[in-house]
Amino acid sequence: MSVVTEVSPDGQKLTISIRGRFDFAKHQEFRESYERPDGQMPSSVVVDLKDATYLDSSALGMLLLLRDHAGGDNSDIRVVNSSSDVKKILAISNFDKLFAIS
């Protein structure tokens, strides 16, 4: 599995970990990772990019979809463990204005 999800015991935090290239090929898996069958969305979401090697513009689009799904401007999404290459791409797009990136 290249997209792994984990919900905290209290159900308040969803962690999505991406492995390998984060591009359009992960579109389906990524969407399924946060579209729960019960329609519930945890209040905070963490996208863990520790094992992500690359991120393209369609991945940025997927992050926007996640943000939209999690409540848009009221969403609480953190993007963590980005490599320096990935950070550069996020910085060029100014996505730090939408997501807490570390």
Partner 1 sequence: MQAPFEPLTILIAEDSAADRMLLSSIVRRQGHQVLTACNGAEAVEAFRQQAPQLVLMDAMMPVMDGFEAARQIKALAGETLVPIIFLTSLTESEALARCLEAGGDDFLAKPYNQVILGAKIKAMDRLRRLQATVLEQRDLIARHHEYLLNEQRVAKAVFDKVAHSGCLNAPNIRYLQSPYALFNGDLLLAAFTPAGDMHVLLGDFTGHGLPAAVGAMPLAEVFYGMTAKGYGLSETLREMNAKLKRILPVDMFCCATLLCLSFQRRSVEVWNGGMPDGYLHCVASGVRTPLPARHLPLGVLSPQTFDDRTDVLTMAVGDRVFLLSDGVIDTCDANEQLFGVERLQQVFAANHQPATLFEEIEQALRDFRGEARDDVSMVEVSLLEAAKLTPPALVYSDSGQSCPLDWSVSFEFRAATLKRFNPLPYMLQLLLEVHGLRAQSGALYSVLAELYSNALEHGVLGLDSSLKRDASGFARYYQERNVRLDALHDGYVRVHMQVVPKGEGGCLAIEVTDSGQGFDVTRVMERPLDGVRLSGRGVSLIRQLSRSASWSDDGRTARVEFYWEALA
Which residues touch 99 (CB under 8 Å, ≥6 apart)?
47, 63, 67, 77, 78, 79, 90
Q: According to CB under 8 A, which one of 11, 57, 71, 100 is a site residue for partner 1?
A: 57
Whole-number Å distance between alpha carbons of 15 and 77: 10
Question: Which residue, 37 or 97, is less far from partner 1 as judged by CB?
Answer: 97
Question: Which residue, 14 or 55, is less far from partner 1 as judged by CB?
Answer: 55
- Tell whether the torsion through CA atoms of 68, 73, 79 and 83 is positive or negative: positive
- Answer for the pair 39, 13: CB distance below 8 angstroms, yes or no: no
Q: According to CB under 8 A, which one of 4, 41, 60, 80 is a site residue for partner 1?
A: 60
C-alpha 13 chain-centroid distance: 13
Considering only the stretches 6-14, 42-50, 58-66, 75-83, report the one whose residues sit in contact with partner 1 under the rule CB under 8 A: 58-66
Q: Is 1 in the site for partner 1 (CB under 8 A)?
A: no
Least distance in Å: CB of 42 to partner 1? 20
Binding region for partner 1 (CB under 8 A): 24, 53-54, 56-58, 60-62, 64-65, 68, 73, 85, 91-95, 97-98
